[in-house]
Structure 1
Amino acid sequence: MTDTTMPETATAPARTVVRGDSTDSIHWARRAARTFTDRLSPAPDPDLADTLVLVVSELVTNALRHGGGRFTLRLSSAPGTVTAAVSDPSPAPPRGRTPDLDGGTGGFGWHMVRRLTQALTITPGPGSGKTVRAQLAR
């Protein structure tokens, strides 16, 4: 795992990068998202910080489960937005599925991410993989 954070200034927005390849790395990605929002100035609304942590958790979990078993998370901010970009080695785009209300096998995450974000894009790369970029209004 790599965690590089720069304090936000008028000319250099804050950035954090985390890499993971195990379920333990989900915890580190959530912690990095929380630390990232804690270090922003001006501080974002606490609800935004909680939402970012949730979105990050869902995106990195999906990358591990369905995207090839590893991810790179890039967190960044701009004056009006906070962005979580998760890259994984699979070219297959995320897809919603019917949530399993009885068996506990999931299906809620992608729907939740789509609902919580201001903008959601999927782009090819790096390499043969993809990057899912979730943007939240600040």
Structure 2
Amino acid sequence: MTTVEEGPDGATAEGSRWLDARPAGAAEARDLTAAYLAEQGPRVPQPVRDDVLLVVSELVTNALRHAGGARGLRVALRPAGVEVTVQDGSTRRPVERGHGRNWLPGGYGWPMVCRLAEVAVVPLGSDGKLVRATVPVRRN
């Protein structure tokens, strides 16, 4: 089920709105996130929107390919930036795959997410984990 909810957690400075979704795939996750970010107007500049869409795509794709599926997606504008949280069913932490000098397919998304965002992995025990990535709105 896909919803945009309001709640008491102070998701934005002007109100508390966030996107909660259970996307079937990365394309749906990107579309929902793009619509949410469009609602935020100029508070989220276009370069940041582009980074957020890339992070969403990579995290949802990784959940689908390596962690039994995306159980949930939350996107929220926070004071620190745009926070993207993906829940999956795996207890395993994401890992960076080394390619050495070989050009091999796959393994490039997680390092890219870590470069674009502040990342935290929150274990949920038998319920899997949350991968939370905050893309800063203001770059230094």
What is the TM-score normalised by the length of structure 2? 0.83
Question: Is this contact kept in 1: 2:91–2:128, CA < 8 A?
Answer: yes
Which residue identity is paired with 2:54?
Answer: L
- Distance in 1, matches of 2:34 and 2:125, equals 26
Task: Tell me if the contact between 1:75 and 1:84 (Cα under 8 Å) persists in the aligned partners.
Answer: yes
8 Å contact kept, 2:90–2:129: yes
Give CA-to-partner distance per residue, 1:13-71, whole Å, 9 cap, x none. Answer: 330011034xxx21110011111111114431100000000000000000001111233
* Distance across 1 between alignment mates of 2:82 and 2:16: 10
Report the AA paired with residue 20 of structure 1.
P
Please list the CA deviations of residues 90-123 of structure 1 after superposition, one character each: whole Å capped at 9, or x if unmatched.
110101102595443x110000000011x11000
**Alignment correspondent of 1:38:** 38
One-letter amino acid of the counterpart of residue 59, structure 1: L
1:9 to partner: Cα distance: 6.3
- Provide structure 2 residue ranges, at least 5 long, that are not aligned to the other structure: none
* Structure 2 letter corresponding to 1:83: E
Shift of 1:80: 3.7
- Percent of residue pairs bearing the same amino acid type: 36
**What is the 5 A alignment of 1:1-138?**
1-4=1-4, 10-21=13-24, 25-99=25-99, 102-104=103-105, 106-117=106-117, 119-125=118-124, 127-138=126-137
Equivalent residue letter for 2:44? P
Q: CA deviation at 1:10?
A: 4.0
Query: Which ranges in structure 1 are unaligned for 5 or more consecutive residues?
Result: none
**Does the CA contact (< 8 Å) of 2:91 and 2:125 recur in 1?**
no
Give RMSD over aligned pairs: 2.2
Aligned length, in residue pairs: 132
Over 3 Å counting, the alpha-carbon distance change for 1:122 and 1:95 in structure 2 is same
What is the distance in 2 between the residues matched to 1:52 and 1:87?
17
Residue aligned with 2:92, SS: coil
> What secondary structure is seen at the aligned counterpart in 1 of 2:82?
strand
